[in-house]
């Protein structure tokens, strides 16, 4: 018989978060509110948002909550076959980070007091932009509908990240265009 897990993330909260995501101007503040909110809602040990660097083929932590600096800076999180959530492009739950062969730093997880991990890809289209990682001190099960809601939250986050990237690119183009002499811009 399957264990029934109580839902923690309902439509009311999801609507409020979705509305907030669409109106944030400050990406760092949005990241902070997401990791803090997930920690509160799911009583997590910690949560982090990691973004993928295509050149270095690794994930970099851009916002954390509840995790020590020592754990966050434990070493590079390289994207390889070991990092299955990245390649599967779907949520991956690891019940015991301290013994799992899929974890790069099991000793660091043990020292930090982390037991389980739910890792959710932040995707835009078919591209993984990063990961949303939720850590617990004890084995914790998640309601399937909660996982689905967090996946949709990650999709919304991806759209905001892409939009911010395009805005930054356009600002760079505008700055470059403003430095070109007007006579060279004729005909463009």
At 70, which CATH number?
Answer: 3.30.450.40
In this model, does residue 180 exceed pLDDT 90?
no
Residue 188 lies in a domain: no
Residue 187 lies in a domain: no
Give me the number of domains the chain comprises.
1
137 SS3 class: coil
- For the cut 70, the answer to whether the pLDDT of residue 94 exceeds it is yes
Is 166:27 a contact under the CB 8 Å cutoff?
no
Q: Is 6 inside a domain boundary? A: no
Instruction: Please report the pLDDT score of residue 59 as a whole number.
Output: 92
Q: Is residue 90 part of a domain?
A: yes
pTM of the model: 0.83
Angle between helices 11-23 and 144-178 (to 10 degrees): 10
In a domain, 118, yes or no: yes
Tally Cβ neighbours within 10 Å of residue 102: 15
Q: Output the pLDDT for position 3.
A: 58
| Tens-digit pLDDT profile for residues 100-131 | 888 889 999 999 999 999 999 999 999 999 99
Residue 29, domain member (yes or no): yes
The dihedrals phi and psi of 159, each to the nearest 5 degrees, come to: -60, -40
């Amino acid at each position: 018989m399957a264990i029934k897990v109580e839902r923690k993330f309902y439509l009311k909260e999801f609507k409020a978060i979705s509305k907030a995501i669409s109106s944030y101007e400050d990406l760092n503040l949005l990241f902070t509110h997401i990791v803090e909110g997930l920690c509160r809602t799911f009583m997590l040990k910690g949560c982090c948002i990691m973004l993928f660097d295509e050149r270095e083929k690794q994930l970099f932590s851009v916002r954390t909550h509840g995790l020590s600096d020592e754990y966050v800076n434990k070493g590079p999180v390289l994207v390889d076959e070991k990092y299955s959530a990245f390649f599967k492009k779907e949520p991956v739950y690891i019940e015991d980070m301290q013994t799992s062969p899929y974890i790069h730093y099991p000793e660091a997880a043990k020292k930090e007091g982390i037991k389980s991990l739910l890792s959710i890809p932040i995707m835009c289209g078919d591209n993984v932009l990063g990961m949303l990682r939720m850590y617990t001190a004890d084995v914790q099960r998640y309601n399937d509908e909660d996982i689905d809601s967090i996946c949709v939250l990650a999709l919304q986050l991806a759209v905001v990240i892409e939009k911010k990237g395009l805005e930054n690119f356009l600002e760079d183009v505008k700055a470059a265009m403003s430095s070109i002499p007007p006579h060279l811009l004729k005909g463009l």
